[in-house]
Amino acid sequence: MSTGKQPSAPSAPPLAPSPTSPALPDQETEWKGRGYKDCLTCTIIGTGAFGITGLYALRMARPSAPGSRMGKMLMAYVGVGFLAASVVRWNLTPSEMLETLVTGKVPPDALSKS
């Protein structure tokens, strides 16, 4: 006769890091490995796209444009945001932009560029 109980499977021990596993790199060394640099054409096209989009949004925020007052204010903020992104795009490489977004700090070598 069966009692209805199934034999339980042995439980596996929790996984722990082994002393031979490589340590995770810290953020500083990880960023140094990302030395990606855009070509001049990519920088110009990206900057132009952000700038033109910002100017278009500011044009839609003008007083004579159709729409509500709140919509125009929103478009003005969007336009200024795109123009700011255009300036950032021109001055920083993609890896520097990513580092700035993640850490909140501009890398020191980005400030010394001429």
Q: Which pLDDT score is estimated for 104?
A: 73
Inter-residue contact 64 to 103 (CB < 8 Å): no
* Structure confidence by residue, pLDDT tens digits, 63-104: 888 889 899 999 999 999 999 999 988 887 777 777 777 787
CA-to-CA distance for 109 and 79, rounded, in angstroms?
29
Is pTM, for the whole model, over 0.75? no
Q: How many beta carbons lie within 10 A of that of residue 41, not counting itself?
A: 8
* Structure confidence by residue, pLDDT tens digits, 33-70: 555 677 888 889 999 999 999 999 999 999 888 889 89
* Structure confidence by residue, pLDDT tens digits, 10-39: 565 555 555 554 555 555 555 455 556 778
CA-to-CA distance for 111 and 97, rounded, in angstroms?
12
